[in-house]
A = this chain, B = another copy of it.
Amino acid sequence: MTDIAMIEAARARLDGHVRRTPLLSSPFLDEIAGRRIFVKPECLQHTGSFKFRGAWSAISALSLEVRVKGVIAFSSGNHAQGVALAAKMHRIPSVIVMPSDAPRIKIENTRAYGAEVVLYDRANEDRDEIGARLSKERGLTLIKPFDEPLVIAGQGTAGLEIAEQAREEGIDKADVLVPTGGGGFISGIALALEAKAPGFPVHPCEPEGFDDATRSLASGRIERNATQSGSLCDAIVTPQPGNITFPIMSRLCGPGLVVTEDEALHAVALAFSRLKIVVEPGGAVALAAALFHGETLGETVIAVCSGGNIDGDIFRMALDRHGG
Contacts and interface: CB of A to CB of B under 8 A. Distances in A.
Interface stretch (A197-205, A214-222, A315-323): A315-323
A316 B295 CA distance: 34
A44 B19 CA distance: 15
B28 A276 contact: no
A21 B19 contact: no
B20 A44 contact: no
A44 B277 contact: yes
Interface string A268-289: 0000110111110000000000
A192 interface: no
Nearest to A49: B276
B315 A48 contact: no
Contacts of A48: 276
A16 B41 CA distance: 19
B308 A312 contact: no
A27 interface: yes
Contact of A324 (B41, B113, B273, B312): B312
B272 A28 contact: no
A112 interface: yes
Interface string A1-42: 000000000000000100111101001100100000000010
Contact of A276 (B43, B112, B168, B273): B43
A27 B112 contact: yes
A102 B323 CA distance: 19
Interface string A212-231: 00000000000000000000
A27 B278 CA distance: 18
A276 B308 contact: yes
A28 B28 CA distance: 33
14 contacts: A19-B22, A19-B24, A22-B22, A24-B44, A27-B113, A43-B276, A44-B276, A272-B278, A272-B315, A276-B278, A276-B279, A276-B308, A312-B323, A315-B319
Given A21-B22, A316-B316, 6 more contacts: A19-B22, A24-B44, A41-B276, A273-B312, A277-B278, A312-B323
Interface of A: 16, 19-22, 24, 27-28, 31, 41, 43-44, 48, 85, 112-113, 168, 272-273, 275-279, 308, 312, 315-316, 319, 323-324
Q: Which 10 A-B pairs have the closest CB atoms?
A: A276-B308, A276-B278, A312-B324, A43-B276, A312-B319, A48-B276, A272-B278, A44-B276, A19-B22, A316-B316
